[in-house]
């Protein structure tokens, strides 16, 4: 059984490890390339390549992760440099003629392979072809150069966002509407004013609750101008380089290049899906907008960007009498975590036992994930509170892929949730808003994909699925946050733990789930269509102009004048370019899958076992649409999704 990962690296060790890992991989690849053609077989060619690449990934995964979470600035810098070096080296690796020729030489033998092995060979060859192999040398080298340049732009964009430390100074009066524990944890300026940061635990409660519209407007403008103009330049340059590389590879646009390797297949399918959904959501969105404008009052018929969260929250408080600041008293972090482990442990047949494992920071909690028979299935970590230099959002990081090792044993997977929930303050424990609970369930969905993998090969392990399938397990688990029996199990007032979330509040939370599903999903559609327009454009893209035009048309809420929200739209520079539609696409599939649980009982362990076996365990070992069809007994449709958001 493989031990838990280690995290105790020095900056020097990370630098050395980078060189050693590349050297070791090169040595293995030289052996593979030098095998005489007639002696090639699956084991010494395809499997040797897969083992070498997965082993290499396993060596560098944790040091790169430390760039996002370490409290040592030098170590973060070393991890960042490693990430850039390894990303660029990977471009070199998958543009090498000698390896491509070795794999092609083996493929030409036409050996009969099992389904998963045949898929491994086909996908590995496709990776090379998508990097220009098979093109004439001049074009291939151009593609390689563009890919390396893009990696640098993407990492700079992300680094700029991580290092944002802008603050808005506000007076005591401008904090009207915010709870005491929020004020208690804000730092103060020398002049005695309160400092509101751009971090989510500050930004979201402020935009939801601050009664002073002027202060909200100022914070909204500052937040939506983060890293402008530097990141706009990076994004527009990246869009142009992506278009150029796609053309060299024979695709009419970058979107077609990306979608050729996704469930959706092409941009026509994606745009048709988005426009079809938009048509069915517009009516609900307009109705919701009218309700918010009525609450706002006055003659103004526009709901501004800095007003939308506030009036949404006011509507929750009036129409549904939901006070989210009050509700969070029932969601102390420890109670939620223990309840969540209990719920998903029961559904998926597992236990999450706290364990003394190596970690990267004193605040990190570590767990052994155990199967029903007590055997260890995986390792899991929580890193939940903000600190300087740490990744600013909530995300699941895969720390190690599950896979069969060369000696036949199974490498146990490991994953972490890195989040920025409000820490304990003013004598209160850490309390989660209901939105935080949903976020936690979402990220835990990604964790289940990573830790319950049974994939034979690292290439297919856990979340290594089509990008438009990767959000299915995370969207899937969000559904449990709206089940009455689950809410009872994960709640307990921080002053009286046996006092569960009151039934009337549970009813209201569930009723309120769809109070903004029209506007919320129109916002997702806006981001998705914006992304598609950026990446199907034939010429230079003015990202600000297009953002402004589409935001008003699709989301029904105009962009604030003088802001540049795309400068902090990290998804389009971090793996979701020409793929943002994946969130909605995945949500449609997840709603369909959850329907099976609803029919059999949301805590049904038999349905859970089937879900674990057919959706989580394979990773990308099989065709995702085929696995979904097996689970449902039919192809997936949009009906369950539209019904679930009240737009059927």
Q: What is the pLDDT of residues 114-167, one digit of tens each?
A: 999 999 999 999 999 998 998 999 999 999 899 999 999 999 999 999 899 999
Domain ranges of the chain: 11-94+96-130, 165-223, 230-320+517-580, 329-514+583-644
Return the C-alpha torsion angle 612, 614, 617, 622, nearest 10: -170
Mean pLDDT of the region 56-73: 97
Residue-averaged pLDDT of the chain = 95
pLDDT band at residue 560, thresholds of 50, 70 and 90? very high
Residue 365 pLDDT exceeds 80? yes
Strand order in the sheet with 365-371: 350-354, 365-371, 376-383, 414-418, 395-400
Q: What is the pLDDT of residues 222-256, one digit of tens each?
A: 999 999 999 999 999 999 999 999 999 999 999 99
Please give the structure tokens belonging to residue 477: 């688990």
Mean pLDDT of the region 309-320: 90
Residue 285 pLDDT exceeds 90? yes
Please give the structure tokens belonging to residue 504: 């009337």
As a whole number of angstroms, the distance between CA 85 and CA 486 comes to: 45
Percent of the chain with pLDDT over 90: 92
Q: For position 573, what pLDDT does the model report?
A: 95
Instruction: Write out the H or E segment, with its range, that includes residue 610.
Output: helix 605-611
As a whole number of angstroms, the distance between CA 525 and CA 584 comes to: 8
User: Which residue has better confidence, 95 or 32?
Assistant: 32
Residue 537 pLDDT exceeds 90? yes
Q: For position 437, what pLDDT does the model report?
A: 98
- In eight-state DSSP terms, residue 424 is P
Half-sphere exposure of 587 (CA within 13 A, CB side): 21
Q: For position 1, what pLDDT does the model report?
A: 64
Q: What is the pLDDT of residues 458-506, one digit of tens each?
A: 999 999 999 899 999 999 999 999 999 999 999 999 999 999 999 999 9
As a whole number of angstroms, the distance between CA 121 and CA 301 comes to: 58
Cα–Cα nearest to 61, from 418, 390, 398, 461:
398
Residue 195 forms beta bridges with which residues?
169, 187
pLDDT band at residue 298, thresholds of 50, 70 and 90? confident
* Fold: same for 11-94+96-130 and 230-320+517-580: no
Burial class (CB within 10 angstroms; exposed 0-12, middle 13-18, buried 19+) of 38: exposed
Q: What is the pLDDT of residues 513-525, one digit of tens each?
A: 999 999 999 999 9
pLDDT band at residue 574, thresholds of 50, 70 and 90? confident
Q: For position 427, what pLDDT does the model report?
A: 87
User: Which residue has better confidence, 91 or 250?
Assistant: 250
CB 196 within 8 A of CB 206: yes
Provide the whole-model pTM: 0.85
Cα–Cα nearest to 358, from 400, 407, 311:
400
Q: For position 70, what pLDDT does the model report?
A: 97
Active site residue: 154, 174, 236, 443, which one? 443
Domain spanning 329-514+583-644: which CATH class is it, in words? mainly alpha
In Å, what is the CA distance from 339 to each residue of 388, 448, 481, 489? 30, 16, 11, 5
Half-sphere exposure of 422 (CA within 13 A, CB side): 31
**323 SS3 class:** coil
Please give the structure tokens belonging to residue 16: 């050395």
Contacts of 595 (CB under 8 A, 6+ apart): 640
As a whole number of angstroms, the distance between CA 607 and CA 601 comes to: 9
CB 220 within 8 A of CB 204: no
As a whole number of angstroms, the distance between CA 210 and CA 178 comes to: 6
In Å, what is the CA distance from 67 to each residue of 70, 78, 226, 397? 6, 7, 21, 12
Contacts of 297 (CB under 8 A, 6+ apart): none
Domain spanning 230-320+517-580: which CATH class is it, in words? mainly alpha
Residue 318 pLDDT exceeds 90? no
Q: Is 443 an active-site residue? A: yes
Residue 648 pLDDT exceeds 80? no
Cα–Cα nearest to 479, from 254, 353, 643:
643
Q: For position 392, what pLDDT does the model report?
A: 87
Q: For position 446, what pLDDT does the model report?
A: 98
State the architecture of 11-94+96-130 in CATH terms: Up-down Bundle (1.20)
Mean pLDDT of the region 424-450: 96
CB 432 within 8 A of CB 441: no
Residue 350 forms beta bridges with which residues?
371
């Amino acid at each position: 059984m493989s031990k838990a990962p280690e995290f105790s690296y020095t900056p020097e060790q990370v630098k050395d490890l980078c060189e050693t890992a590349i050297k070791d991989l090169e040595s293995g690849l030289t052996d593979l390339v030098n095998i005489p053609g007639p002696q090639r077989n699956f084991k010494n060619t395809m499997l040797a390549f897969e083992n070498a690449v997965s082993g290499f990934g396993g060596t560098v995964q944790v040091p790169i992760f430390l760039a996002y979470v370490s409290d040592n600035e030098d170590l973060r810098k070393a991890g960042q440099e490693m990430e850039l070096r390894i990303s660029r080296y990977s471009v070199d690796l998958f543009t090498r003629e000698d390896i491509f020729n070795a794999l092609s030489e083996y493929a030409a033998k036409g050996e009969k392979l099992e389904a998963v092995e045949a898929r491994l060979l086909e996908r590995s060859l496709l990776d090379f072809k998508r990097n220009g192999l098979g093109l004439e040398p001049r074009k291939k080298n151009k593609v390689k150069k563009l890919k390396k340049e893009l990696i640098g732009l993407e990492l700079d964009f992300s680094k700029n966002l991580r290092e944002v430390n802008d603050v808005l100074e506000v007076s005591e009066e401008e904090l009207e509407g915010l709870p005491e524990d929020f004020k208690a944890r804000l730092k103060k300026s020398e002049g005695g004013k309160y400092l509101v940061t751009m971090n989510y635990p500050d930004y979201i409660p402020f935009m939801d609750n601050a009664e002073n519209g002027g202060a909200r407007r100022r914070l909204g403008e500052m937040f939506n101008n983060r890293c402008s103009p530097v990141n706009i330049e990076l994004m527009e340059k990246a869009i142009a380089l992506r278009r150029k590389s796609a053309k060299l590879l024979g695709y009419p646009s970058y979107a077609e290049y990306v979608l050729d390797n996704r469930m959706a297949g092409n941009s026509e399918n994606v745009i048709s899906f988005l426009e079809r959904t938009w048509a069915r959501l517009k009516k609900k969105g307009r109705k919701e907008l009218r309700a918010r404008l009525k609450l706002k009052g006055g003659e103004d018929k526009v709901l501004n960007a800095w007003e939308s969260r506030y009036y949404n929250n006011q509507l929750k408080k009036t129409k549904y009498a939901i006070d989210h600041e009050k509700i969070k008293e029932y969601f102390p972090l420890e109670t939620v975590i223990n309840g969540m482990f209990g719920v998903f442990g029961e559904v998926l047949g597992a236990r999450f036992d706290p364990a003394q494992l190596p970690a990267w920071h004193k605040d990190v909690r570590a767990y052994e994930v155990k199967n029903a028979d007590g055997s260890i299935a995986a390792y899991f970590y929580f890193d939940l509170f903000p600190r300087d230099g740490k990744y600013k959002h909530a995300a699941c990081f895969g720390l190690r892929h599950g896979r069969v090792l060369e000696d036949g044993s199974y490498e146990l997977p490991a994953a972490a949730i890195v989040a920025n929930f409000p820490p304990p303050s003013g004598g209160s424990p850490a309390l989660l808003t209901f939105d935080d609970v949903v976020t936690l369930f979402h990220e835990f969905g990604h964790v289940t994909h990573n830790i319950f993998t049974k994939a034979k090969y690292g290439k297919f392990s856990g979340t290594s699925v089509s990008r438009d399938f990767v959000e299915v397990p995370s969207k899937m688990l969000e559904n449990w946050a709206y089940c009455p029996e689950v809410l009872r199990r994960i709640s307990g007032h921080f002053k009286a733990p046996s006092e569960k979330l009151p039934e009337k509040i549970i009813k209201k939370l569930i009723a309120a789930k769809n109070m903004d599903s029209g506007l919320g999903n129109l916002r997702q559609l806006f981001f998705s269509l914006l992304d598609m327009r950026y990446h199907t454009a034939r010429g230079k893209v003015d990202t600000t102009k297009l953002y402004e035009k589409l935001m008003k048309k699709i989301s029904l809420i105009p962009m604030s004048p003088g802001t540049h929200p795309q400068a902090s739209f990290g998804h389009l520079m971090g793996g979701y370019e020409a793929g943002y539609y994946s969130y909605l696409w995945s949500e449609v599939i997840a709603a369909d899958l959850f329907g099976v649980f609803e029919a059999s009982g949301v805590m049904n362990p038999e349905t859970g076992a089937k879900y674990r076996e057919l959706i989580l365990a394979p990773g990308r070992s099989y065709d995702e649409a085929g696995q979904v069809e097996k689970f449902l007994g039919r192809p997936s449709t949009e009906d369950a999704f539209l019904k679930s958001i009240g737009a059927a």
